[in-house]
Amino acid sequence: MEFESVIGLEVHAQLKTKTKIFCSCSTAFGSPPNTHTCPVCLGMPGVLPVLNKKVVDYTIRMALATNCEIERESRFARKNYFYPDLPKGYQISQYELPIARFGHIDIEVGDETKRIGITRIHMEEDAGKLTHDPDRPVSRVDFNRTGVPLMEIVSEPDIRTPEEAGAYLRKLRSIVRYIGVSDGNMEEGSFRCDANVSIMPKGSETFGTRAELKNLNSFKHVEKAIYYEIERQKEIIGDGGEVVQETRLWDPVKNVTTSMRSKEEAHDYRYFPDPDLLPLVVENEWIDAVKAELPELPDEKKDRFIKAFGLPSYDAEVLTSSRELADYFEDCLKVFPNAKPVSNWVMGSLLGLLNTEGKTIEDSPISAHDLGHLLKLIDEDVISGKIAKTVFDEMAKTGKPPKKIVEEKGLVQVTDVSAIEAVVAKVLERSPKEIEEYKGGKTKVLGFFVGQVMKETKGKANPKIVNEILRDKLG
């Protein structure tokens, strides 16, 4: 029997507001424990929450960027359960009436574009951090993170493969970073993902029982865990068993999912509207104001790059994968307005360099401005493409502008025809065997001659001229 898998993803993105969602404590990361707390986020007796308006602004932004319908009226609800990192014994979240619903984003998988639905987006507060002591039977609680605003984004179960899941997450992350509402960093915990995975016979319309996967700490792990889980479920069904609805933890060391089911009964969160917070009403004026400030979104930018610059879809996709990279590309174009070469160099040499050095585009050792000038030098025949690569590496190492490096290293291309003719003559004189081979039909030998001339001129001869002269001389 053939199966298809059904995957839904729940993402929690930390919003990068200055202060927490319900109190004025700082959201700054990495401070000593319990130094960003107050009676409100500590859940002391008698305290009350007051909503940070910016959290709503950011969530409206996200809703617009993901084509959601924004509810005119939404409510906050209490999700009740006991855990040491939850000071009030309940989390303030949204339940029956979330702020946004019925959205979608488009993802690229291979050559195909697929639309993934977004069921809902809502706001809630983060919990604190619990660390378990390895030696003693105690845990420590740090409430700095309690009350940091979270945006929960729930996808429709439209995802069918681990690759699609990865593409969805990457797109979602790029969006939150594009619109400046979250750092979207999985490793730092500002972008978290749980996956719901089930399988069903191919072509069926009834979804199978799903398992919820947790502890997925990177995009790679998400894909691996989903893949593992699909296979695990296939095996169970294949053996005639039934998949149990449960929460499973991904073990990134053993690369397996294990059941989290404890002796305790399933959670009954007893959601009810939070009486301490007023209903949230978002009128059209507010939405319009947020819309006006919305930056160009990844899909729009990609379309523009394709249309305005004539770039192929693949290039446009890569270049717009982050706002910073897209900005870099366009800054470079300001200096050298020829899209394809810029695209090639950015996607090739630059991203390669960043990858090797483990740097982000924001930390690029070569500025967009300088890269543009490098390309100008090639275009003006001042240096060859090959030499340019050397200059590029030197730029990365020293941070010097290309023109300076070319001057200092005397890399200016030789275009003096008579000078090149002299070198060509020299090379041909000492290579009679190869001339024979060439005249005999081995046209590939031309490359040997070119190579020799380049060697003699330390790579500075203009390759086009070298080729012309050689053909001329060889007939």
Q: Please, what is the minimum distance in Å from the beta carbon of residue 265 to other proteins?
A: 7
**Per rule CB under 8 A, is residue 30 in the interface with other proteins?**
no
Q: Using CB under 8 A, which of 2, 30, 32, 410 touches other proteins?
A: 32
Q: Please, what is the minimum distance in Å from the beta carbon of residue 262 to other proteins?
A: 5
Nearer CB in complex with other proteins: 25/388 = 25
Q: Please, what is the minimum distance in Å from the beta carbon of residue 137 to other proteins?
A: 5
The stretch among 3-11, 70-78, 198-206, 295-303 that binds other proteins (CB under 8 A) is: 70-78
Q: Which of 52, 33, 38 is nearest to 128 (CA)?
A: 33
**Per rule CB under 8 A, is residue 52 in the interface with other proteins?**
yes
| Burial of residue 301 (number of CB atoms within 10 Å: 0-12, 13-18, 19+) | buried
Question: Could you give the CA distance from residue 167 to residue 109 in angstroms, rounded to a whole number?
Answer: 7
Query: How many residues are recorded in the chain?
Result: 475
Question: Could you give the CA distance from residue 85 to residue 145 in angstroms, rounded to a whole number?
Answer: 9
Give yes or no for a contact between 322 and 183, defined as CB atoms under 8 angstroms apart.
no
Q: Please, what is the minimum distance in Å from the beta carbon of residue 356 to other proteins?
A: 39
**Per rule CB under 8 A, is residue 443 in the interface with other proteins?**
no
Q: Using CB under 8 A, which of 1, 2, 30, 45 touches other proteins?
A: 45
Nearer CB in complex with other proteins: 57/163 = 57
| Burial of residue 403 (number of CB atoms within 10 Å: 0-12, 13-18, 19+) | middle
Question: Could you give the CA distance from residue 113 to residue 106 in angstroms, rounded to a whole number?
Answer: 6
Q: Using CB under 8 A, which of 137, 358, 410, 440 touches other proteins?
A: 137
* Runs of H (alpha helix) within 202-338: 219-238, 284-293, 298-309, 313-319, 323-335
Q: Using CB under 8 A, which of 35, 209, 344, 398 touches other proteins?
A: 35
Question: Could you give the CA distance from residue 298 to residue 69 in angstroms, rounded to a whole number?
Answer: 19
**Per rule CB under 8 A, is residue 142 in the interface with other proteins?**
yes
Nearer CB in complex with other proteins: 134/410 = 134
Q: Using CB under 8 A, which of 70, 94, 127, 143 touches other proteins?
A: 143
Q: Using CB under 8 A, which of 201, 238, 279, 337 touches other proteins?
A: 279
Which residues ranging from 280 to 299 are in contact with other proteins (CB under 8 A)?
280-281
Q: Which of 22, 153, 156, 6 is nearest to 87 (CA)?
A: 22
Q: Using CB under 8 A, which of 84, 201, 295, 385 touches other proteins?
A: 84
Q: Please, what is the minimum distance in Å from the beta carbon of residue 183 to other proteins?
A: 16
Q: With CB under 8 A, what is the number of residues at the site for other proteins?
A: 63
What sign results for the dihedral spanned by CA atoms 123, 23, 51, 170?
Answer: negative
What DSSP assignment string belongs to 430-467? T-HHHHHHHHTT-TTHHHHHHHHHHHHTTT-B-HHHHH
Binding mask 2-21 for other proteins (x = CB under 8 A): ---------------xxx--
Q: Please, what is the minimum distance in Å from the beta carbon of residue 24 to other proteins?
A: 4
How crowded is residue 184: how many other Cβ atoms within 10 Å of its Cβ?
22
Nearer CB in complex with other proteins: 263/430 = 263
The stretch among 86-94, 211-219, 423-431, 456-464 that binds other proteins (CB under 8 A) is: 86-94
Question: Could you give the CA distance from residue 59 to residue 244 in angstroms, rounded to a whole number?
Answer: 35
Instruction: Count Cα neighbours of 154 within 13 Å in the Cβ-side half-sphere.
Output: 14
Residue 460 — φ and ψ, nearest 5°? -90, -10
Angstrom distances, CA of residue 436 to CA of 108, 126, 426, 440, 441: 53, 78, 16, 6, 9
End-to-end CA distance of the chain: 67
The stretch among 132-140, 185-193, 367-375, 400-408 that binds other proteins (CB under 8 A) is: 132-140
3-state secondary structure at position 86: coil
Binding mask 90-129 for other proteins (x = CB under 8 A): x---------------------------------------
Nearer CB in complex with other proteins: 211/427 = 211
Contacts of 459 (CB under 8 A, 6+ apart): 384, 386, 387, 390, 411
Q: Using CB under 8 A, which of 4, 12, 29, 42 touches other proteins?
A: 42
Tell me the β-bridge partners of 240: none
**Per rule CB under 8 A, is residue 72 in the interface with other proteins?**
no
The stretch among 4-12, 46-54, 119-127, 330-338 that binds other proteins (CB under 8 A) is: 46-54
Nearer CB in complex with other proteins: 34/398 = 34
Which residues ranging from 375 to 404 are in contact with other proteins (CB under 8 A)?
none
**Per rule CB under 8 A, is residue 50 in the interface with other proteins?**
yes
How crowded is residue 232: how many other Cβ atoms within 10 Å of its Cβ?
17
Residues that bind other proteins (CB under 8 A): 17-19, 24-26, 32-39, 42-56, 73, 75, 78, 80, 82, 84, 87-90, 131-133, 137-143, 262-263, 265, 268, 270, 272-273, 275-281
